[in-house]
Structure 1
Amino acid sequence: MQVFREDAVTWLSTLADASVDLVVTDPPYESLEKHRKIGTTTRLKVSKSSSNQWFEIFPNDRFESLLTEVYRVLKKNSHFYLFCDQETMFVIKPIAEKVGFKFWKPIIWDKVSIGMGYHYRARHEYILFFEKGKRKLNNLGIPDILECKRIYRGYPTEKPVEIIETLISQSSSENEVVVDPFFGSGATLVAAQKLGRQYLGSDISDAAHEHFINRLCEQ
């Protein structure tokens, strides 16, 4: 179980072909920058309490190289989950299909409470569900809307461990390898550890590494 401080695509390129059982990740996608510039996403602004170093945006034009590497490192008959907003979903889906993934559906994360914005304020986020080969979900009774309160005053855009535990439980088995090339708050890595999976992760942000180390110390 290791973490690295490298660019996501560069780091993935160092992993062996078909060496990973599951990828769950939440890239700092391009549309976040748009929201930050117009001031609707205050949690993404630079401040003493919230460093936005992690938001060195991963541009849309790099997604093909990223998804090509994700497909390569995943074993045959495996799953891939990617958190994103409605704008980025339409960018990623055709690229992922081009590199070989089967797209099943967007899973909805219902955050329970309303978020920021002006037009039908969002209370949900998308988790795109892709498959390489064919792998059955471990529990066919889980719905495609997952309800879980968002994290307040945490790491920027932090995802609840509970949500990621559901994804890992559905698409991997004990001791299998779970990877997150944009680990951010470390939620994927913490969820993997709690469920008895091995994990590998990378993030270019010093703040992410500091946050994750503190998180491990607090457990």
Structure 2
Amino acid sequence: MANRLFYADNLVALRDHVADGSVDLVYLDPPFNSNANYNILFRSPAGHAAESQIQAFEDSWHWNNAAEDAFEQVMRSGRSRAFDLLRAMRAFLGENDMMAYLSMMAIRLIELHRVLKSAGSLYLHCDPTASHYLKLLLDGVFGKENFRNEIIWCYRKWSVAQGQYPRNHDTILFYARKEGAQTFHTLYGEPSPGTMKRWGGRRQQAVFEGGVRKAGCTGEVARSPIPDWWDISILNPNSKERLGYPTQKPVALLERIISASSNEGDLVLDPFCGCGTTIHAAEKLGRQWIGIDITHLAVSAIERRMKDAFPGVAFTVEGVPRDLASALDLAARDKYQFQWWAVSLVDGMPLDGRKKGADGGIDGLIYFKPDGKRTEKALISVKGGQNVGVGMIRDLHSAMERERAPLGIFITAQDPTGPMLREAAAVGRFTDEFDRGWPRLQILTLADLFQGKRPQIPWPDPLAVLRKARREATEKQENLL
């Protein structure tokens, strides 16, 4: 069961792969319905054009057939309190974007309640856009008696607010699966200046004994229980921890949650795992984990992050194509996810093909250094359809000339035709100063890639994709309490 990463709709993955009462801790940081689009940032080598940005997810929801279906699933779930609340919200809000968001969340919260153990807990990370509605839904699913805390994560950032106070906090709603049964470890931190009091003409620490604050001895430093507001810095743009993924949370935030509400060896689940901060923290603290995300960009980023931070870590990735049939199925279901997956197979940097005309038919790049110093690029074109022809090879060659790219990689789901192979061969060879040569335009089929074949490229630049995660040393629970 443990240490599994799913590329899937989390509702499907939860129902098909996560058993009742099997999870110790759930943390979820779902999109907030803020109607914002978030881009993932890919690095480019120094001296090249701006870093590449691809829309990782669209943080907006719309009332449509899927939202109506989610609403009806809640109705049929047998969870009458949750449905009564959701129905009242629909009467109040109408059929709009917020109601679509709440319907989608309600059915997922019901599934998360199902998979939690009786001693388990759930932390839902949100912001003021929808936190008040989500708390009502959680009361309906978990029971108001199982509400534990509204945790305020406050942070400092520069913001200009007109007619209101700057919004410098998120809300984390903490619920137990069963009243009085949940795992919880009181965490301690250094006391704030407000816990200092003047005794005998000098400031001394206060000591907590039996819940009563008492004067400490001279020179004594007493740690106090961490309250329900947390002052943890957000990741600044230059943070070594930042990987380029939007809405990335600091590992310290997740370490605190996991340390408080689980034990070593417990199973932690994140159904909206983004770039993998939750599972990073879980692995670091000796927990087992399950992560789910609906975009291949996120899953690919997590795979790379975990391997960089924890060399030798063992986990399985499920839902990504493992054979030609599943690859063709992905191509038919989602053209762009297929393209990004195919580009990741050759360690390329994907481009956002959804921006019509912006990429000129190019789906990715591979930067390389033919002499170990200067940087060149190879263009990647991906075709997942059944009809391929020589015109596609000519288009890639034209793009290579336009972009001054010495190499081109054509990835196709189908076998190339004879004219395609001849056209590619006619483009010639790229030769470096050491008289080493490589075909300038290379054709690779999906069958080739599944058999382990890769493009012939001199000195690919490993830094020209996502930022590399720092290598971690795992920690024991007692170091954090």
| Aligned partners of 2:251 and 2:280 also within 8 Å | yes
Deviates more, 1:50-59 or 1:185-194: 50-59
SS in 1 for 2:247: coil
TM-score (ref. length: structure 1): 0.88
User: Does residue 28 of the first structure (1) align with residue 31 of the second (2)?
Assistant: yes
Counterpart in 2 of 1:82?
124
- The share of aligned pairs that are identical, in percent, is 34
The answer to whether the aligner puts 1:200 opposite 2:290 as a matched pair is yes
Which residue matches 1:139? 186
Report the equivalent of 1:39: none
- CA deviation digits over 1:103-157, x for unaligned, max 9? 2221011123344654322211111111111325201522111122112343111
User: What is the aligned-residue RMSD (CA, Å)?
Assistant: 2.1
Q: Is the 8 A contact 2:38 2:57 kept in 1?
A: no
Q: Report the CA distance shift for 1:215/1:116 in structure 2 as closer, same or farther (over 3 A).
A: farther
Partner of 1:187: 277
Deviates more, 1:148-157 or 1:113-122: 113-122
The answer (yes or no) to whether the contact 2:32–2:59 under 8 Å persists in 1 is no
Q: Which runs of 5+ in 2 are unaligned?
A: 42-50, 62-100, 188-224, 238-243, 310-481
Relative contact order (alpha carbons < 8 A, sep ≥ 6): 1 or 2 greater? Answer: 1
Q: Which whole-Å CA distance do the structure 2 matches of 1:151 and 1:52 have between them?
A: 20
| Contact persistence 2:30–2:125 (CA under 8 A) | yes
Give the one of 127, 142, 157 matched to 1:100.
142
Aligned pairs, how many? 210
Which residue pairs with 1:44 in the alignment?
38
**Aligned AA for 2:250?**
P
Q: Which has the larger radius of gyration?
A: 2
Per the TM alignment, residue 55 of structure 1 is displaced from its structure 2 partner at its CA by: 3.2
Equivalent AA in structure 1 for residue 157 of structure 2: S
Aligned pair in 2 of structure 1 residues 103, 164: CA closer, same or farther (>3 Å)?
same
Q: Does 1:215 align with 2:305?
A: yes
TM-score (norm 2): 0.41
- Post-superposition shift, 1:63? 1.4
Q: State how 1:122-133 maps to structure 2 within 5 Å.
A: 122-133=167-178
Letter in 2 for 1:28: P
The one-letter code of the counterpart of 2:118 is K
Q: Residue in 2 aligned with 1:16?
A: 19
Matched residue type, 1:10: V
The answer on whether the counterparts of 2:38 and 2:56 sit within 8 Å (CA) in structure 1 is no
Q: Secondary structure, in 3 states, of the residue corresponding to 1:185?
A: coil
SS of equivalent residue, structure 2 residue 54: coil
Distance 1:202 1:93 in 2: 23
- SS for the counterpart of 1:129 is strand
